[in-house]
Amino acid sequence: MAFRLRLVPEQTSWDFFRHQTLTFGFSVMLVIASIIAVAVMGLNYGIDFRGGTTIRAQTNESVDIASWRDSIAPLGLGDVVITEVFDPTFAADHHVAEVRIQAQDGTEAVSSDTINAVEAALQTVVPSVKFTSTESVGPKVSGELIETALLSVLAATLAILAYIWLRFEWQFSVGAVAALIHDVTVTVGIFALFQIKFDLTIIAALLTILGYSINDTVVVFDRLRENLIKYKTMPLKDVMNISVNETLSRTVMTSGTTLIALIALLVLGGDVIRGFVFAMTWGVVIGTYSSVFVAKNIVLFLGVDRDKKKVDPADKFFDKSAKPGKSKPWNEGA
């Protein structure tokens, strides 16, 4: 007999809505606390949103980011980001790095004296280093980046709202979008609470979280719609429990394998991508939670007009021979 790893039993009958008021109330509290954290503490914007200067440095020695950062730290320049530039056309002794320094108080760009001080500090650990170019991002450009980032998240959310509305019913779309708003708001609140640097990579993470969360929500919604046709007289809450239980194995396997990779990156990936990976890791956890305890709760509160339920063309492939209470598990045979 072939061995198959199962993280959850083949058939489960857990009541995910037994404490629906408590779980939904907890989610509402998280959203409110996140909004307060952002309003009171603010976000720790990175150079992308705050403005600053990017210096391109070239050296004949390999780039040791930790030693470079340690040499610049005594200058007290605030947020300094150092990244190595890789290019297959570079010679073996050609090493390039970018040093990004946040805009100093009252100035749009870092002064020439500060740039000279940075170069002198780096030359104490890398004597061959030299600066080949310097570019500055002013507050106006940074403000435009913030506006564009907000619009991108809003556009993605509206597109998802339209898709769910067309694919299912309006109650489903309201539940799905509420879950997405919950995920994004709580994630941003965590960044405000712990003052983790918030830059364009975090916006990319938020957009990825939107896609991941809605994917899990749609899987359960699709199974729920099939079961609403199959169990026409069963209470909506019971049908939802069946649907979540039937897709539970898929949810746990998908989230679990994703978290394994993300946790490895979080521990071993280094400082450059740590904020992005942290946002993704938290997003997977909160997205899985919201798919059941936010999206499904809202659909349950709003109700579904089951009298007007029409059979989807795809349902001709669905096994209608199963009897209530003996439905074939969604993951069976996978």
Report all structural domains of the chain as residue ranges with CATH numbers, in order of start: 20-43+142-317 (1.20.1640.10), 52-137 (3.30.70.2040)
**Residue 93: other Cβ atoms inside 10 A:** 10
Q: What three-state secondary structure class fits 306?
A: helix
Is the separation of the CB atoms in 56 and 132 below 8 Å? yes
**Residue 267: other Cβ atoms inside 10 A:** 10
Mean pLDDT of 280-307: 84
Burial (CB < 10 A; 0-12, 13-18, 19+), residue 196, is middle
pTM of the model: 0.70
pLDDT grade for 4, boundaries at 50, 70 and 90: low
Q: What integer pLDDT is reported at residue 309 of this predicted model? A: 45
- Give 122-133 pLDDT, tens digit per residue: 888 888 888 888
Helices (H), 107-169: 112-123, 139-167
pLDDT grade for 7, boundaries at 50, 70 and 90: low
The C-alpha atoms of residue 92 and residue 89 are separated, in whole angstroms, by 9
pLDDT grade for 319, boundaries at 50, 70 and 90: very low
Mean pLDDT of 133-151: 72
Strand partners, 82: 99
Highest mean pLDDT among 142-146, 160-164, 176-180, 211-215: 176-180
- Give 45-70 pLDDT, tens digit per residue: 777 777 778 888 888 888 888 888 88
Q: What integer pLDDT is reported at residue 249 of this predicted model? A: 82
- Give 190-235 pLDDT, tens digit per residue: 999 988 888 888 888 888 888 888 888 888 888 888 888 888 888 8
